[in-house]
Amino acid sequence: MEEEIRVRFAPSPTGYLHIGSARTALFNWLYARHTGGKFILRIEDTDPERSKEEFLDEILDSLRWLGLGWDGEPVFQSKRLDVYREFANQLLRKGLAYEAEGEIRDKEGNVIKDSERIIQKAIIFKVPQGRTITISDLVHGKIEVDSSTIKDQVMIKSDGFPTYNFACVIDDADLGITCVIRGDDHISNTPKQILFYEALGFKVPEFAHVPLILGKDRSRMSKRHGAISIKEYRQAGYLPEALVNFITLLGWAPRDNKEIMSIDNIIKEFDIKNVKSVNTIFDIDKLNWMNSEYIRVLDIDTLASLIKEFLDKKDLAGLDEVNLKKLVRLFTVRIKTLGEFKQEAGYFLNDDLNYDAGQLEKLTQKPNIKEHLTKFRDALSGLNEFTFSNTEAVLRNLAKNLNIPAGELIHPSRFILTGRTVGPGIFDIFELLGKEKVLKRFEAVIRSFY
């Protein structure tokens, strides 16, 4: 019988969940779901000064939003301090470790005096010399490290808390983790951890170190490249399905190189052994394109409901469900994120249009423009039913009577009604704005002509 695959994601609640960490969580989750294994969540909260409840809440909420449910209850390192000390004491008794006096410092780096806090002895592991430590990495292949390049390793600090390398080995062994999937910035930690596994008599798991995510200029990810938290992507109006699809392709690709994939297909095809060993590029333009593709295939009821969450009460004043759905349908192909809807459709949601002074000046200088717009306004005011077909008929008949191209009325009308020179079809704009708003905006601009 094959051994059950057990993987874990182990965030520290010292900050929000960002793209790099989200990818680590996703790759672990996908590997577990692909193999029918277990995805364990461990919270590495042994830094009491920096660990915050708000960060933990955001991490858990972001994982749920992305659809990355974990198996069982989360494990908290802060509740296992006695376990770490007992294993450290075992190594002390075997003569594989020693104690040393240590100093406790506050977050500013100042030594805390004995009177302020009891200083314990640190417990330090003796690194054996003359060893070649071999890592059989599922992504990078064979990696060898000479143990003489590794200094003795602190296991329990003088403040009583364990170090990262020591605690994670004990936790991974206790949880039965069979494969440790993490960023390749942890490769330097792996030989140290293998020494702990061996000294404690634990089975060494497999390791898979995933390469870095770089910006388009091939530098380390920063905010200008898109290195913001998952929470911020959510607040900007990205869909979780699109973000998961995009993150999956940061270092992995299906056999047919298809880009838009359902989560079921991703799970079916994903294998951690197929992750590329080279750094991957984060392309925000590609994410925006992918998100827009996901938006386009949503049914209108679902999309309208999602967009509604991004609008204020004043935006929705006077806008019933029917017209909201019409408006959403009009902009579905024009938005890349849900958050862009308010920006793109803003002239439907409020009357505060800020006309570009240069464009307005250009409009006033067109020959006979005031006369043409006045006649058009008067013709529109005579309509009882302000529909797409009726407003189109009025515009085209007037253009014919004035012996001018229809565009001579269409383009100025779009600018008057939206403050922009491009946008949806003008007759859709007429119908959705309604007679009262259309005439009001025409009147305001016509009055501004000298």
SS3 call for 391: helix
- CA dihedral (151, 155, 158, 162) in degrees, to 10, reads 140
Q: Which residues of 197-227 are buried (b: 16+ CB within 10 A; e: fewer)?
A: bebbeeebbbbbbbbebbbeeeeebeeebbe
Nearest residue to 174 (alpha-carbon basis) of 197, 140, 151: 197
CA distance 28 to 30: 6
Burial (Cβ within 10 Å: 0-12, 13-18, ≥19) of residue 75: middle
Is the Cα dihedral 296, 301, 306, 310 positive or negative?
A: positive
Joined together, the tokens standing for residue 326 give: 């019409």
Tell me whether strands 75-76 and 38-43 are parallel, antiparallel or unpaired: parallel
Nearest residue to 6 (alpha-carbon basis) of 27, 42, 31: 31
Is the Cα dihedral 341, 342, 344, 347 positive or negative?
A: positive
Joined together, the tokens standing for residue 352 give: 């505060």
The label of the residue with tokens 């830094």 reads: 47
Joined together, the tokens standing for residue 41 give: 């969540």
- CA dihedral (59, 60, 62, 65) in degrees, to 10, reads 180
Q: Is 38 one of the annotated active-site residues of the chain? A: no
For 34, 83, 138, 327, 441, the CA distances from 253, given in Å and listed in that order, are 15, 41, 16, 37, 52
Which residue out of 223, 273, 313, 314 is catalytically annotated? Answer: 223
Joined together, the tokens standing for residue 428 give: 């859709």
For 252, 382, 405, the CA distances from 27, given in Å and listed in that order, are 9, 63, 58
The label of the residue with tokens 């570009």 reads: 356
Q: With residue 402 as reference, give the H or E element that holds it.
A: helix 388-402
Q: With residue 123 as reference, give the H or E element that holds it.
A: strand 121-125
Nearest residue to 418 (alpha-carbon basis) of 337, 359, 339, 373: 359
- Where in the sequence numbering do the catalytic residues fall? 223
